[in-house]
Amino acid sequence: MSVLKPVLRFFGRYYSVFLLFAAYEAISRLGLVSQRLFPSLGVIAQQLWIYTANGQLIYQASISLERALFGFALALVVGVSLGTAMARSRLIEALVEPLFVFSYPIPKIALYPVFIFVFGLGDASKIALVFLECLYPIVIHVHAGMRSADRVLIWAARNMGASRAQVFTRVLVPASLPIVFTGLRIALPVSLIITLVTEIIGESRGLGFFVTFATSSFQYGRALAAFFVIALLGFVLDRALLFARDRIVFWQRTDAEV
């Protein structure tokens, strides 16, 4: 019984995913859509096994993951620093915030040809675009998180003799962390999405290239196997971020997300 309990809990938590799989399989088996375009789950699993066993999917996934995480890490460092500076300085806020508000609606992917011209077709242009896409949600959420700190707590800390550094580390940072992690949870999958899009546009490595090659060869089972790997990567990254958040922002930990 003790073994079945976590299994049942897992299925109970992610039952909607299994319902999606069941609906897909029904559509494929009933012939509602061509099985060439929608191969059965058995065919997808077979392709997943073949290209995992020969190392192709693992290699391509490692390339995409490295690009995505490197760009995300750069955006994290710069975004946290810039968002904090905006929250702490009215001058920096007045200089930077209008630029973010003005440029946020611009689709950053439109700048990819410029990045290719500047950085070339290799990793650098892709990482640069990932960095730019992830920077916006991180800066905005760090800035908002710092601004959301309860003024009563700040006044109380100052009245008890806390220095500016102590107010920052013991009041502002803890108060901002829940909102900051929300921004990180938005930016992290964006890093993977942008990496795949840039690989689809032009690349000879990565999961985006793997999908493009498979679809251009009408090997949709192979492409959907790659989609499964992409979804799995996104899921694992999200769970890892939630795990870190629950350990850092432990006072807001919820049983639904443990």
Q: Which domains does the chain have, with CATH numbers?
A: 1-38 (no CATH), 55-257 (1.10.3720.10)
Q: Residues 92-111: pLDDT tens digits?
A: 989 988 888 888 888 888 88
- The 8-class DSSP code of residue 14 comes to S
Tokens in use for 139? 């800066």
Sign of the Cα torsion 117, 120, 122, 128 reads negative
- Condensed to tens digits (0 to 9), the pLDDT of residues 213-249 reads 999 888 889 999 999 999 999 999 999 999 999 888 8
Dihedral of the CA atoms 111, 227, 183, 101 (nearest 10)?
30
Given a cut of 60, whether residue 9 has pLDDT beyond it is: yes
DSSP 31: T
pLDDT tens sequence across 131-151:
999 999 999 999 999 888 777
DSSP letters spanning 184-238: HHHHHHHHHHHHHHHHHHS-SSSHHHHHHHHHHTT-HHHHHHHHHHHHHHHHHHH
Contact 132, 108 (CB under 8 A): yes
The answer to whether 91 and 100 have CB atoms below 8 angstroms apart is: no
> What is residue 253's predicted lDDT score, i.e. its pLDDT?
66
Q: What pLDDT, on the 0 to 100 scale, is given for residue 158?
A: 80
Given a cut of 70, is residue 3 above it in pLDDT? Answer: no
- The Cα–Cα gap between 197 and 209 comes to 9
Q: For the segment 107-121, what is each residue's pLDDT rounded down to a tens digit?
A: 888 889 899 988 888
Give 223's contacts (C-beta < 8 A, 6+ positions apart): 211, 214, 215
